[in-house]
Amino acid sequence: MISAATNVSPQDAEVQAQLRDLRNRNAAVVQGMSRQARDGATAADPARTAELALRAWP
C-alpha cells in the first residue's frame, strides 16, 4: 500500500494527513474487492467496484 509522507516536517502535516486518508480509502476498496473474489464474485463484480471507486477519486 501507499506509505508516502512518512518522513515529513510539521509544516507538511496537512499533506501527510491527506495522503494517509487516500491510502486508507484505497486499502478499503482493495480489501472489499479481495473479499468479493474470495466469496466467488464474477470478474464483473470487482470491476464495477473499481469503476465506482475511480468515480469517487479526488
Is the pLDDT at 40 greater than 90, yes or no? yes
Bigger pLDDT: 4 vs 51: 51
Distances (CA, A) of 53 to 13, 31, 56: 25, 13, 5
pLDDT of residue 1: 44
pTM of the predicted model as reported, rounded to 2 decimal places: 0.62
pLDDT of residue 7: 66
In the block, residue with C-alpha cell 464474477: 42
Among residues 20, 26, 24, the alpha carbon closest in space to that of 53 is found at 26
Q: DSSP string of the chain? A: ----SSS--GGGHHHHHHHHHHHHHHHHHHHHHHHHHHTT--THHHHHHHHHHHHT--
